Chains A and B, each alone.
Chain A
Amino acid sequence: MLNPEYMKINFKYFPSDIIEKYNLNSIVHNGYIYCKIKKGMYGLKQATLLAYNYLVEKLAPHGYRPIPHTIGMWKHDTKPISFCLCVDDFGVKYTNKNDVEHLLAALRQTYKVSTDWEGKIFCGLTFDWNYTKGYVDVSIPGYIPNVLHKFQRSTPKRPHRSSYNIQPHKPFIKGHRQYAPEPDFSLLLDADGTTRVQSIVDSLLYYARAIDGTLLPALNTISASQSKPTQATLQRCHDLLDYVATYPNVFLRYHAGDMVLTIDNDAAYLVATKARSRIAGNFQLNSAKHSNNYVNGAILIECKTLRKVVTSSAEAETAGIFHNAQVALSIRYMLTQLGHPQPPTPLKTDNLMSNNFIHNNIAQRRSKSWDMRY
């Protein structure tokens, strides 16, 4: 530690042998012994950072370094081995077993290391590898039953097939106005109810981001009102729990392919309160040739509410493409670092005006705000 920290300990806790060995009677001050902290200890704010820096220092002489501009990805200078580091967990990609032995030898000079050669579990995710058939299933077994037990929610009598409480379809009649949903005037929840709503969101958010992206729109809506939740918010939470209870064993399947990043964009105009619109992006890794007869699982699903009020569905769509393209930059970089150089990334949109705006194929009028933002 460059800057030592200081603490004081009540003298009454010190046993006589320690007092004698360190001659503490001579330095006791108002009943306290003062200490200079020189290294990482339990309770220090920077303990994790010190441990991380120490790991970086110890692995550097062996040729392992973090990949610049990534958060937790590492690779070797010359060997074809790369890994993700999540605190003290390593998920390692290798093609030669000797490379793994080299990494293990480097780590075992300093640490005790436990290994799982089947690579079944990492970061709370369970992997079911099928190398010969070229796919891997990712899941979190038992997570949803635990969540349902935690919130004392039993399996619904009737299957709940949507994460949203679907409103009856009203056919659009030409000339009639479409109105935004009515504001939520139901009663505010008390402190316990607020905590319950926030706990449900907290419990399902990692699961949604890791495995089941279909929860994200509902979580997005709930989290917008979770600071002041109402009875309607709680009902949405219970609908969501019923939905995950209906589908408790969701898994993602990733197939072997060319690792070409593709993005599907979409936007929903004026679907949220306060005239907000929502954007979405589905990031997949597909094959360059359109020969796949499968749908690869998404590596990332973006589902966000735009902070600004947009004036048309085309502007919402453009905002979505702009956001997703920004996110794609870092993903393209990481893929390149992992040995998968990327061709130009295809972004798919279903909005003609947005497509023409991006390709500069239309005569623009009154679009200064678009030009400035996107």
Chain B
Amino acid sequence: MFNPTLPVVNHIYNDAGQKQSLDQLLRGPDKDIWTKSASNEFGRIAQGNVQGVTFQDAIDYIPKSAVPEDRDVTYASFVCDYRPLKSDPYRVRLDVGGDKLTYADDAGSPAASLIETKLLINSVISTPGAKFISMDLKYHFLCPQC
């Protein structure tokens, strides 16, 4: 079913071409691999696991009684992937169902517009001695503290 020698960088499919869910993978022939990956993900977003994964402390497991009555509770979905070039090639990632949550404020983040970009590069070329450099942040949305 699963050939790790192929450089597959998509979802996991079985021989019939059907996409496999985490539930199916945890019951399939490679269940040991995916059980370990799922453990790493649950530990990574919480406070670690027995395998010593680096954790983010993004969630707490709580009893139902600790959820305020006036708050929406959403679902979680899982994305399973094989990334041969990564240090952890068998990947399970938990995705929060954002569509079921209410965020009253504007959730967008400010981002430079085209006019601002054009003004900046005009400023660079028109300022004696000025130069331009571009930079890129990695894992911006997975910042460990926010």
Contacts and interface: CB of A to CB of B under 8 A. Distances in A.
Contacts of A27: 61-64
B38 A13 contact: yes
A86 B107 contact: no
B135 A115 contact: yes
Interface stretch (A133-141, A218-226, A357-365): A133-141
Contacts of B7: none
A299 B118 contact: yes
Given A6-B72, A209-B114, A53 B135 contact: no
B109 to A, nearest CB: 4
Contact of B59 (A38, A55, A121, A257): A38
Contacts, number: 310
A117 B133 contact: yes
Interface in B87-146: 93-98, 101, 103, 105-127, 129-143, 145-146
A90 B42 contact: no
Interface in A82-118: 82-95, 100, 104, 107, 110-117
B35 interface: yes
Interface size, B (range): 35 or more
B116 A53 contact: no
A50 B123 CA distance: 30
Given A86-B111, A123-B117, A257-B126, A22 B143 contact: no
B135 A104 contact: yes
Interface of B: 22-23, 26, 35-36, 38-39, 42-43, 45-46, 48-51, 56-64, 66-67, 71-78, 93-98, 101, 103, 105-127, 129-143, 145-146
19 contacts: A6-B71, A8-B75, A37-B58, A39-B145, A45-B107, A55-B143, A72-B111, A87-B111, A89-B135, A95-B127, A111-B143, A112-B138, A116-B134, A119-B134, A136-B125, A209-B114, A338-B119, A338-B123, A339-B127
